C-alpha cells in the first residue's frame, strides 16, 4: 500500500483556495466530517474552512446547550463555550447544515425507554420551533456518545430521515456505510476517536485506510478545533487535509444530510 501522508504536505496548502463542490457522479469514496455538540468558536471556524473549499459544514448541536440551566458535561462540554440558535440560524443562512444532537446530551441507552423517547421528542420539537428551515423528513439525528438501540432507532425513524450512531453498532467489521440512496430511511454508522487527546494522526490513519479501500461512505465524527471538545482536531491540519482530499479524483466531501438529499 502506498501511504498518503497528509500531515507532511499541509504546509504547502493554500488556506484560502476556493474549489468547486464535487458531485456524487463517478465518485467512489464519499466522506462526511460530522461535528458534534455546538461549540460556538469551533463551529464558526469549521464553517469558514468549509466555505473556502465550496463545501457545506456538517454541524450537530445540543438543543439546550444555550439555556441558563445547562450544566457542564464531563470536562469537555462547558456552557460558556456553546453557541445558541441565533448562531445556528446564521450558519444555516450561509448554507451550512445544522442537525439535532440530543436534548441534553444523555446516553439514552442508560435511562428508561420512556424517558429516552420523551428526550428525543423534545429535541426534535425544539428544532422544529427554533431552527430555520428545519424539516423532520430531512433530518439526521446524531446520538450522544453514538449510543443507541433498536427501540430508540425505530422511534426516531418513524419521524426523521436518518440516524447516526456508532460504527461498532452498525458497520460491524466494515469501515464505511453503503453509498446513500435518494429515498428511504437510513441507519448510519460513524467512526470516532475513543481517546480525548488531539486526533490529527487518527484522522490521517482513517483517511489512508479508506482511500486504499474499494470505497463507500465514511462518516468521521468530530467535535471541536484545537483545544475545544473531546478529541479536538487542529485547525491547520483539518484545513490542509480538506485541501488534499479535494485533490483526490475519487473523493466527494459533503454533509450527511446533503448526501441524503
Q: Is the pLDDT of residue 7 over 50?
A: no
pLDDT recorded at residue 61:
98
Q: Is the pLDDT of residue 3 over 70?
A: no
Query: Are 147 and 227 within 8 A, CB to CB?
Result: no
Instruction: Render pLDDT for 10-63 as a digit per residue (tens, 0 to 9).
Output: 333 322 222 233 345 689 999 999 999 999 999 999 999 999 999 999 999 999
DSSP reduced 3-state for 247: coil
pLDDT recorded at residue 110:
97
pLDDT recorded at residue 26:
84
Query: In terms of Cα–Cα distance, which of 1, 71, 42, 100 is closest to 227?
Result: 42
Q: What is the mean pLDDT of the chain?
A: 90
CA geometry: angle at 167 spanning 165 and 170, to 5°? 80
Contacts of residue 207, Cβ cutoff 8 Å, sequence gap at least 6: 4, 6, 241, 245
pLDDT recorded at residue 24:
59
Instruction: Render pLDDT for 65-123 as a digit per residue (tens, 0 to 9).
Output: 999 999 999 999 999 999 999 999 999 999 999 999 999 999 999 999 999 999 999 99
DSSP reduced 3-state for 235: helix
Ordered structural domains, the chain, with CATH: 28-260 (3.20.20.370)
E strand residue ranges, the chain:
29-37, 58-61, 97-100, 140-142, 162-166, 186-192, 216-222, 251-253
| Residue 144 grid coordinates | 450522544
Q: Is the pLDDT of residue 218 over 70?
A: yes
Beta pairing partners, 251: 29
C-alpha dist (Å) from residue 238 to 22, 88, 233, 246, 261: 18, 21, 7, 12, 25
Global pTM reads 0.90
Cα-based torsion angle of the residue sequence 106, 193, 53, 9 in order, rounded to the nearest 10 degrees: 160
Measured in whole angstroms, how far is the alpha carbon of residue 58 from the centre of its chain? 5
What CA–CA distance (Å, rounded) separates 44 from 225? 10
Amino acid at each position: 500500500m502506498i501511504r498518503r501522508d497528509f500531515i507532511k504536505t499541509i504546509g504547502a496548502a493554500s488556506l484560502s483556495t476556493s474549489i468547486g463542490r464535487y458531485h456524487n457522479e463517478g465518485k467512489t469514496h464519499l466522506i462526511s466530517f460530522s461535528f458534534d455538540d455546538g461549540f460556538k468558536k469551533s463551529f464558526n471556524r469549521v464553517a469558514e474552512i468549509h466555505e473556502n473549499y465550496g463545501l457545506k459544514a456538517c454541524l450537530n448541536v445540543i438543543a439546550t446547550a444555550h439555556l441558563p440551566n445547562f450544566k457542564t458535561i464531563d470536562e469537555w462540554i462547558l456552557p460558556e463555550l456553546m453557541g445558541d440558535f441565533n448562531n445556528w440560524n446564521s450558519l444555516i443562512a450561509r448554507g451550512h447544515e445544522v442537525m439535532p444532537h440530543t436534548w441534553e446530551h444523555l446516553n439514552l441507552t442508560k435511562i428508561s425507554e420512556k424517558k429516552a423517547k420523551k428526550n428525543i421528542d423534545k429535541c426534535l420539537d425544539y428544532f422544529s420551533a427554533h431552527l430555520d428551515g428545519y424539516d423532520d423528513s430531512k433530518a439526521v439525528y446524531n446520538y450522544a456518545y453514538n449510543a443507541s438501540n433498536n427501540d430508540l432507532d425505530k422511534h426516531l425513524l418513524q419521524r426523521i430521515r436518518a440516524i447516526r450512531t456508532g460504527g461498532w453498532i452498525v458497520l460491524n467489521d466494515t469501515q464505511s456505510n453503503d453509498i446513500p440512496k435518494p429515498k428511504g430511511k437510513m441507519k448510519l454508522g460513524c467512526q470516532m476517536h475513543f481517546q480525548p487527546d488531539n486526533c490529527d494522526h487518527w484522522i490521517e490513519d482513517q483517511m489512508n485506510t479508506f482511500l486504499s479501500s474499494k470505497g463507500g461512505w465514511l462518516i468521521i465524527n468530530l467535535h471541536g478545533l484545537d483545544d475545544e471538545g473531546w478529541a479536538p482536531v487542529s485547525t491547520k491540519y483539518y484545513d490542509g487535509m480538506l485541501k488534499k482530499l479535494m485533490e483526490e479524483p475519487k473523493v466527494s466531501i459533503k454533509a450527511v444530510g446533503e448526501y441524503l438529499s
